Amino acid sequence: MAPPILILRDIGLSFGGTPLLQGAALSVLPGERPCLVGRNGSGKSTLLKIAAGLIEPDSGERFVQPGVTVRYLPQEPDLSGHADVMAYVLAGLAPGDDPYRAAYLLQQLDLRGDAAPAQLSGGESRRAALARVLAPEPDILLLDEPTNHLDLPAIEWLEAELRSLRSAIVMVSHDRRFLSNLTRATVWLNQGETRQLNRGFADFEAWRDEVLQQEEDERHKLDRKIVREEHWLTYGVTARRKRNQRRLGALHAMRQERREQSRPTGDVKMTVTEGGMSGKLVAEAKGIAKAYDGNTIVADFSTRIQRGDRVGIVGPNGAGKTTLLNMLTGVLAPDTGEVRLGANLAIASLDQRRESLDPEITLSEALTGGSGDRVSVAGQNKHVISYMKDFLFQPEQIGTVVSALSGGERGRLMLARALAKPSNLLLLDEPTNDLDLETLDLLQEMLADYPGTVLLVSHDRDFLDRVVTSTIAYEGQGRWLEYAGGYSDMLNQRAANPGQATLSAAVKQNAAAKAKSNTSRKLSFKDKHALETLPKRLETLQAEIRDLEQTLADPGFYRRDPSAFDAASARLTAVMDELAGAEDDWLALEMRREALDGGSS
């Protein structure tokens, strides 16, 4: 076996007296493909920078085989000081490297070589940085979150390009599918120390859980031993004093070991603040279209979104995902067609660019809105520091301005803000950017338990597969189709039935079946009357639901009159059921009317 071409041994590094890395290690063989995983803030990017020679550790050794070339992709590339994109990419080449490969990569990544760096978007800057590190085909590639701000076509192209290289590649990424497809080894950075699994990321999480369970079992055994020793000390300290002192010292040593094993790493505690229940119909789009400067973004798109749906929206950058999301939620009016929103919608959103964060306000002000030191979450009034801790922020960060936060910290802050708002409809535009794997797991669990409706724009294929019930995918030329299931289901359906959309919710299928079975008959007088009167009936039921919810929201209502509280709760359930039935009836009649109108035209 060839010797390692890069070795990090016993690496130690502290910031402000707090140890970040303690005895960390990394060894890279020629052509090896390890990923470096760990929580946000665990030191992954720092260790990668040490491997690149950009940071000098406090202790330990870095060794690179003579003649080995190393290229490093930072999370936030800096293109300043270069006349254009081509100059930036060519600056990464060594003597003898092929400049034509730089031009080829820019073409593959849909970038103009003469573009000014200052005019590039975040995704374009990331693609330019990828071209710069890939062009030399180095012996070692160090990639820090290479898929951030890339769309799905670019991510899939990057996977294929990296597979074709002979380079050793060390990857840090939150994209599970990307890591599973490419890696052959996994280095786990936890509490400043590293452990290596000689298998790819696909096997990592099961192995990590086994390791943590073994450690928990060892702690349990140690706890039991401590209890026995404390009992003996309580009742036998006066006998044989020399032995007592020895056992007392052993107990203190065990307690110290227990404290070392139990150093807290923190968990994100996500609780969504629920709004009142929405109507069964959340949004209905009929033949909506949107164009800008003659460029069609959305063409003749229709869908019905029901309460409890989790809808993913996927497509390349610039296709119009955010535009479609804004039209479906009434933020943006379509050029043609119409959007009907359901009743009692309470919307909370997380925007893609974190634009709603004022960089000059403090962490506390961002969470409280600048009013006091309390945050209302899930009906509970929490102190802002307590809520900060739920999202892994330290108390001393309460006065930190947003501009000083890392990308991961800004992502957690935006989640904290969005989840604190009462809602029954969550709009999540690229929520997984800059989040670590553990936080993604917790976000996934929260969405699974969320009783409302979720509209999700994402490039994270694994997250889509784990979360959504249907996927709206871009098909080109402004066409969007809805498929049942997640991203992988969409690919399978698209391959089997190109261009065929499916409806995800059973109620949609039922309504369509009702309409289809009656298209040969004309609308009866009763049906016409129902179509005219049902909208007013829906409004009446929705108003009653709002009144009942407001009544039940009174915290003293139950104490004053428990029987009246129970009666109001029962009435709310009955009215919601009546509303759902009325919506189904209206939906079936409306679809039948549309079918008849279409047949007569």
Cβ 133 vs Cβ 72: under 8 Å:
yes
List helix spans (H) across 73-203: 85-90, 99-108, 122-134, 152-164, 176-182
For 366-422, write each residue's pLDDT tens digit. Answer: 888 777 788 877 666 788 888 888 777 888 888 888 888 876 777 778 878 877 777
Cβ 270 vs Cβ 390: under 8 Å:
yes
Cβ 134 vs Cβ 106: under 8 Å:
no
The full DSSP string for 235-288 is HHTTSSHHHHHHHHHHHHHHHHHHHHHT-----------B-PPPPSEEEEEEEE
Predicted pLDDT of residue 113 = 94
Whole-angstrom Cα distance, residue 529 to residue 525?
Answer: 6
C-alpha distances in Å from residue 19, one per residue of 23, 49, 147, 192, 488: 10, 17, 29, 7, 42
- CATH for 281-504 is 3.40.50.300
Predicted pLDDT of residue 378 = 60
Whole-angstrom Cα distance, residue 110 to residue 112?
Answer: 7
- CATH for 525-600 is 1.10.287.380
Predicted pLDDT of residue 27 = 95
- Where do the domains of the chain lie? 6-202, 207-261, 281-504, 525-600
CA 525 to chain CA centroid, Å, is 51
Domains 281-504 and 525-600 share a fold: no
Fold of 6-202: Rossmann fold (3.40.50)
For 17-36, write each residue's pLDDT tens digit. Answer: 778 999 999 999 999 999 99
Listed residue (30, 13, 31, 34) closest to 22, CA to CA: 13
Which residues face 480 on adjacent strands? 474
Report yes or no on whether pTM surpasses 0.85.
Answer: no
Q: Is 382 helix (H, G, I), strand (E, B) or coil?
A: strand
Mean pLDDT by 10 residues, the chain (601 residues): 91 85 94 91 91 95 95 92 95 91 92 92 89 95 91 91 95 93 94 92 89 82 68 46 50 52 52 62 93 92 91 90 93 94 84 68 86 74 83 83 79 78 86 77 78 90 88 92 88 71 40 44 74 83 80 74 79 78 76 65 45
